Amino acid sequence: MAEKIGVYVCHCGSNIAGKVDVEEIAQWAGENLDDVAVSRDYKFMCSSLGQQMIEDDIKKEKLTRVVVGACSPHLHEKTFRRACSNAGMNPYLMDLTNIREHCSWVHKDRSLATEKARALISAAVQRVKHQEPLEPMYVDVNPATLVIGGGIAGLQATLELADAGYHVYLVERLPSIGGHMAQFDKTFPTLDCSACILTPKMSEAGQHENVTLLTYAELEEVSGSVGSFKVKIRQKSRCVDYDACTGCGICVEKCPRKVLDTEFEAGMGNRKAIYMPFPQAVPRVPVIDQDSCIWFERQKCRACEKLCPTDAIKFDQEDELIDIEVGNIIIATGWKPFDSKKIPQYGYGRLANVYTSMEFERLCNAAGPTNGKIVMRDGKTVPKSIAIVHCVGSRDDRHNPYCSGICCMAALKFGHLVLEKTDAEVYSFYIDMRTNQKNYEEFYQRLLGEGMRFVRGKVSEVTDAARMPTEQGKLIVQCEDTLIGRQQRYPVDMVILMGALEPQEDARELGLKCGISCSMEGWYTERHPKLDPVATMTDGVFVAGTCQGPKDIPASVAQGAAAAARVAGMITKGKVMIEPIVASINEQACSGCKICNNMCPYNAIEFIEETETSRVITALCKGCGTCVAACPAGVITGAHFNNKQIFAEIEGALWDALQPAAESSSQAETVPASAS
Amino acid sequence: MKYAYYPGCSLESGSAAYDKSVKAVIEQLGFGLDELDDWNCCGATEYFSQNELVATSVIARNLALVDDRHDQLVAPCAACFLNLKKTDKLLAEQPKIRGKVDQALAAGGLRYRPGRVQVRHLLDVLYTDIGEQAIKAKVVQPLTGLRVAPYYGCQIVRPLNGFDNPEYPMKLDEMFTWLGAEVVDYPVKAHCCGGHMTQISEENAFELIRRLLQSAADYRADLILCMCPMCQLNMDMYQGRVNNFFNTKFKLPIVYFTQMLGVALGIDMKKLGFGKELVAAEPVIRGKLEGQTAAATK
Ligand SMILES: Cc1cc2nc3c(=O)[nH]c(=O)nc-3n(C[C@H](O)[C@H](O)[C@H](O)COP(=O)(O)OP(=O)(O)OC[C@H]3O[C@@H](n4cnc5c(N)ncnc54)[C@H](O)[C@@H]3O)c2cc1C
Ligand code: SF4
Ligand code: SF4
Ligand code: SF4
Ligand code: SF4
């Protein structure tokens, strides 16, 4: 029996109709393509009226197949599948072909774009005839969740879920949770003490009955899919027995080896070879840094071991691999600071009193290496003047094109702290002042009132080459003040570089393990930039905080909570639908060569010893098609993408080439006429 | 890669020391540079702003003279290098000018397709193509104990040069660490020397020159290394006048980097053109290097 196909071509306002002659295509399909019973165009197919139109046609015209020519399946495949099932049709008998992202948005010439859309519609019509009804599968959602990254975003997500009664594994690669916020003194714009608002959350996460804290640990590998991920975590060796240690700190106190702390103290202070990064660290279990410990260097010392009252020091402890199972994953791995040495003309690393913003955070911090006294590198001189350089590595096409969003505010915060603690003059060198969140502009106004000075212009260099006696011994900031249109030189004692927020070094790698992608710069890509900011293209994997793009603490917290809400929703629902688009092996014809077994990137193929044939584990298969192409006997079929469907689609796309010769040439000639 | 060589007018006259030392060094490194036949002036810094079309044509003639056997054109002078590089880019990007320049070249029986020849500064070739290993292997007189201040000037490091950081170049610094010298990382290494400003406003020019000498002296440099005849002339010939004008006492030899590279490679100083500079370099160099050898033999 011939199929009865309905074709629906969408205008998408002018998004598609602006470049494609939608009406003409709909009419053409109705008149020229076999088995097309109804063919219509409509302003917005995804509107409820558009969906209703499809549903009505299916019922009235007894349609057996539907083709929609509209936007990307990422956006509306679900919508149109739903419309079809509402009308009683199996949703997998619908094909959504993309004539927007793949056609109207990327082409300039209207008549060529129209021809491409025609080919796409024709391809879909041919393909849809061979589509088969499929039944989706449902899997249970494991109520446990993995949160990667224990910064403020990850902590928020963890606590929301744990408080709702669900188990969370929180994996943090440093010895303590807390993230960058733990390093700050005050937070803008309210100037609350950073530790005072952060540490309660840290200890709550540390003690929560629903939280398993895995610090000094990293994600090794992920398998499975939404609802039931299997995850391997590498617990790096601390050389300390986690359970035996009471956190007394004697080992740290007595360890004779001091090294520069480039992590927590940003190189401004020291720590011991065995250390907890800061006094409020969670957990209070130290870590031996094997690269600096005397025992690992030359088999001497072991002072910590001798003095530990609970015999917790274990030099021979090894990394441990921990297997866990979770239903969802939230990635909250944050940011890393820009390397200011990449802008050598600003002198960082060459001129002693040029600081990065993170160094200055530690310098200001009451718990920092100078107890919060703002002094120069000599450790005693209080600066009389400080220059703060904005946009270092941000908004600069040689480094990062984006605005880091938080550094104007952090510069204002620094200005306030300096004015409060010293008599120094503070200059901010900005390009634009970006203070567009709640109470941010007010904070800027406050600093104007407090006497911070603002120079609009991009600093060209920071130098110690004095030209005038007043510049002797100073750092000179050279900058064009664009408000007065003059090159100016500002001799100061100290310079702070407001470096960009950058994606973590391993962001791409971690994303790959979890099946999500990054932008060009390395920020994780959300499912939709406006409407779905914490979900990703991979079901069951969410992102929160600065790993998705630069943002401040309030926005990171909001995303952490949002991701938790999404996960909680999945858990409450209990089951998730799994696409039935999977491979299947015709076991009768399988020769048992095992070639497919190792090809599958998801380990979804098992070998049945009794029958000596391979079998696809449907719950693990993602329908990638690798095995389908690899099978030498050609006995693996990819549902929804079988050979018949794909060849029909190709034939459909080449509809004009497949016409008999005479007809096709006349066809080609009539095209411009019909398009006009 | 085969290298054609464009010495430029200055090397035939005022800066013969540069020419001499380039040739000596190239020979010592066993490396071929074939001088272009019948090359003409690059128009220096001024011609471009006088008449862009004529300037481009005059420079393009040099590019067109590079025969098929060569794919690189090496210039030791910063201004020549920039002009040649700029012209190649202009021809590639501006079809209007290119059409006219093509006509001008055709009148002389010449043709040039933009991008056919890669314009390189001598430093780039020595640093990148010959490289650390080969140069280090030939050092017989390490420059140990000598504090050199590499000076890049403002023309070599324009963003289009493509081989060093335009804001804060380091390649010459690195090369001299290979030779064992103490390299002075002073902040004004890419600031302008004033170019022809001495002819327009002496006072302004003197101030620009003073800044360079001052910074190098503050960082206790023994001498300044140059890569451009103009820079060398400004800092060397005008050093006395700068001293009179500002009542300073600078006595910094200004030498071409190839001269010092030659010393490190063990080439006789006579063959490197020393002695032509006004602030004598030889006594300083000999003093430092011999002091070093004496200390070593003690
Ligand atoms: C100088 C400066 C001052 C600032 N001041 C303020 C302020 O006053 N107010 C404000 O609102 N914002 C401020 N910010 C912005 C603030 O730092 C961020 O908004 C905040 O840190 C974002 O939190 P997060 O959890 O997303 O990331 P992070 O704080 O970076 O935390 C990420 C965590 O994930 C961990 N991690 C990373 N990769 C992995 C991995 N592969 N496996 C396991 N764990 C991993 C990290 O170790 C870290 O603990 C400031 C920023 C700067 C640069
Ligand atoms: S053995 Fe290592 S960690 Fe322990 S006290 Fe000695 S240096 Fe410190
Ligand atoms: S001395 Fe022992 S118990 Fe105390 S903090 Fe160190 S490892 Fe833990
Ligand atoms: S927030 Fe301000 S300092 Fe930071 S990149 Fe944007 S404009 Fe520059
Ligand atoms: S289609 Fe084949 S290779 Fe791909 S996930 Fe499924 S079983 Fe594995």
Q: Which residues line ligand 2 (CB under 6 A)?
A: A 255, 257, 273-274, 288, 293-295, 301-304
Q: Are residues B195 and B137 in the same domain?
A: yes
- In this complex, is the C-beta atom of B185 within 8 Å of any C-beta atom belonging to chain A? yes
Kindly write down the DSSP assignment for every residue of A442-460, as one continuous string: HHHHHHHHHT-EEEES-EE
Verify that B199 and B286 share a domain, yes or no. Answer: yes
Answer whether A514's CB lies under 8 Å from A525's CB. no
Tell the residue nearest (CA) to atom 7 of ligand 1: A187
One domain for residues A308 and A257: yes
Range of the structural domain that residue B268 is part of? 133-297
Nearest chain B Cα to A464, which residue? B187
What does the pLDDT look like over A283-292, one tens digit per residue? 999 999 999 9
Question: Has residue A433 got a pLDDT over 50?
Answer: yes
Q: How far apart are CA B168 and CA A643, in angstroms?
A: 59
Q: Beta B72-75 vs B118-121: how paired, if at all? A: parallel
The answer to whether the CB of A330 falls within 8 A of the CB of A542 is yes
Find all residues with CB under 8 Å of A321, minimum gap 6, and list them.
A220, A232, A233, A234, A235
Tens-place pLDDT, residues A243-264: 999 999 999 999 999 999 999 9
pLDDT band at B157 (very low <50, low <70, confident <90, very high): confident
**Residue A657 confidence (pLDDT):** 87
Q: CB-CB: which of A345, A350, A461 is closest to B185?
A: A350
pLDDT at A36: 97
* Residue in A348, A404, A355, A350 with CA at minimum distance from that of residue A376: A355
The residues that bridge with A6 in the sheet, in sequence order, are A38, A66
Non-local (6+) Cβ contacts of A617 within 8 A are: A604, A605, A606
B167 close contact with A: CB closer than 8 A = yes
- Look at residue A649 and tell me if it is in a domain: no
Residues in Cβ contact with A457 at an 8 Å cutoff, skipping those fewer than 6 apart = A429, A431, A479, A480, A481, A482, A483, A488
A353 and A479 in a single domain? The answer is yes
Contact B167 A350 (CB under 8 A): no
Instruction: Please judge whether A465 and B170 are an interchain contact, meaning their C-beta atoms are less than 8 angstroms apart.
Output: no
Query: What mean pLDDT comes out for the span B12-17?
Result: 88
Average pLDDT over residues A629-648: 94
Residue A359 lies in a domain: yes
Domain boundary among B121, B141, B175: B121
Using the 3D structure, point to which of B76, B101, B121 is the last residue of a domain. B121
If asked whether residues B141 and B229 sit together in one domain, one would say: yes
Residues A350 and A474 in one domain: yes
**Residue A660 lies inside a defined structural domain of this protein:** no
Contact assessment for residue A175 and residue A276, using Cβ atoms and an 8 Å cutoff: yes
Q: Residue B19 is inside which H or E element, if any?
A: helix B16-28
Q: What ligand is nearest to the CA atom of residue A504?
A: 1
Q: Rounded mean pLDDT of A60-72?
A: 97
Q: B100 with B34: CB under 8 angstroms?
A: no
Residues 422-481 of A with CB under 8 A from B: 461, 463-467
Q: Chain B closest CA to A460's CA: distance in Å? A: 9
Encoded tokens for A225: 């899919």
Ligand 1 contacts (CB < 6 A) are A 148-154, 171-174, 179-181, 184, 187-188, 218-219, 332-335, 357-358, 361, 406, 410, 413, 504, 506, 510, 545-546, 551-554, 556
Report which protein residue has its CA nearest ligand 1's atom 19: A552
- Across the interface, whether the CB atoms of B186 and A343 are under 8 A apart is answered no
Domain annotation covers residue B128: no
Q: What is the mean pLDDT of chain A?
A: 94
Set of chain A residues whose Cβ sits within 8 Å of the Cβ of B185? 350
Assign residue B42 the CATH number of its domain. 1.20.1050.140
Domain end point (choices B91, B121, B151) = B121
Band (pLDDT 50/70/90 cuts) for residue A676 is very low
Residue A510 lies in a domain: no
Model confidence, pTM: 0.85
A185 Cα–ligand 1 center, Å: 14
Binary contact (B187, A347; C-beta < 8 A): yes
Q: Which of B168, B187, B211 sits opposite A464 (nearest CB)?
A: B187
Does the beta carbon of A344 lie under 8 angstroms from any beta carbon of chain B?
Answer: yes
The answer to whether residue A30 is domain-embedded is yes
> In this structure, which residue's CA is closest to atom 3 in ligand 3?
A245
Q: Are residues B31 and B151 in the same domain?
A: no
Structurally, chain A folds into a number of domains equal to 4
Rounded to the nearest 10 degrees, how much is the dihedral formed by the CA atoms of B195, B196, B197, B201? Answer: 160
Q: Do A465 and B218 touch (CB under 8 A)?
A: yes
- The per-residue pLDDT for range B42-51, each reduced to its tens digit, is 888 788 888 8
Test site for ligand 1: of A152, A174, A177, A180, most ligand atoms within 8 A of the Cβ: A180
Taking the CA of residue A286 as reference, the ligand 3 atom at the shortest distance is 5
Position B126 in a domain: no
Instruction: Supply A457's token pair.
Output: 């212009």
Minimal CA separation from A388 to chain B, in Å: 20
Q: What is the end-to-end Cα distance of chain B in Å, rounded?
A: 47
Cβ neighbours of B211 in A, within 8 Å: 465, 467
Closest listed ligand to the CA of A271? 2
Q: Among residues A72, A102, A136, which one ends one of the domains?
A: A136
CATH for A434: 3.50.50.60
**Is residue A287 a part of any domain in this protein?**
yes
Residue A242 pLDDT more than 80? yes
Helices (H) and strands (E) in chain B, counts: 15, 8
Name the residue among B168, B214, B218 with its Cβ closest to that of A344.
Answer: B168
Residue partners of A474: CB distance under 8 A and separation at least 6: A464, A466, A491, A492, A493
Region of poorest pLDDT, from A331-345, A422-436, A508-522, A610-624: A610-624
Q: What is the pLDDT of residue B297?
A: 57
Of the bound ligands, which one is closest to the alpha carbon of residue A286? 3
Nearest CA in chain B to A465: B215
Residues A631 and A551 in one domain: no
- Residue that the structure tokens 């006789």 belong to: B268
Residue A203 tokens, joined: 């200890």
- Give the residue from B157, B160, B165 with the most A CB atoms within 10 Å of its CB, the best one to mutate: B165
Rounded average pLDDT over A533-562: 96
Beta bridge partners of A495: A354, A387
Q: What is the pLDDT of residue A664?
A: 47
Q: Domain containing A394: what range? A: 344-502
Q: Does residue B293 have a pLDDT over 80?
A: no
Is A652 a domain residue? no
| DSSP code of residue A589 | T
- Nearest-Cα residue of chain A relative to residue B186: A465
pLDDT digits 0-9 by tens, B204-222: 999 999 999 999 999 999 9
Question: What separation in Å is there between the alpha carbon of A355 and the centre of ligand 1?
Answer: 19
pLDDT at A213: 98
- Does residue B160 surpass a pLDDT of 90? no
The alpha carbon of A566 is separated from its chain's Cα centroid by a whole number of angstroms, namely 16
Confidence band, pLDDT 50/70/90 cuts, at residue A93: very high
CB atoms closer than 10 angstroms to residue A463: 23
Domain boundary among A104, A136, A168: A136
* Domain shared by A311 and A387, yes or no: no
Any ligand 3 atom below 6 A from CB of A106: no
Please give the pLDDT value at position B294: 65
Answer yes or no: are the C-beta atoms of B139 and B118 closer than 8 Å: no
Which pLDDT does position A545 carry in this prediction?
98
Report the CATH number that the domain containing residue A48 is assigned in CATH: 3.40.50
For residue A413, the CA-to-ligand 4 centroid distance in Å is: 13
- A194 and A301 both lie in a single domain: yes
Q: Does the pLDDT value for residue B296 go beyond 90?
A: no
- Residue A591 sits in a domain of what CATH number? 3.30.70.20
> A141 CB under 6 A from ligand 5?
no
Distance, in angstroms, between B228 CA and closest chain A CA?
22
Which residues 347-366 of A have a C-beta within 8 angstroms of B?
347, 350
Contact B211 A465 (CB under 8 A): yes
Residue of B nearest to A468 (CA): B211
Are the beta carbons of B211 and A343 separated by less than 8 Å? no
Q: pLDDT tens digits, residue range A122-178?
A: 999 999 999 999 998 898 999 999 999 999 999 999 999 999 999 999 999 999 999
Asked if residue B179 and residue B285 are part of one domain, the reply reads: yes
pLDDT band at B298 (very low <50, low <70, confident <90, very high): low
Q: A411 and A478: one domain?
A: yes
> Which amino acid does the sequence have at B173?
D
What ipTM was reported for this prediction? Answer: 0.81
Clarify whether residues B73 and B109 are in a common domain: yes
Peptide bond into B169 cis (omega under 30): no
Residue A47 has pLDDT above 80, yes or no: yes
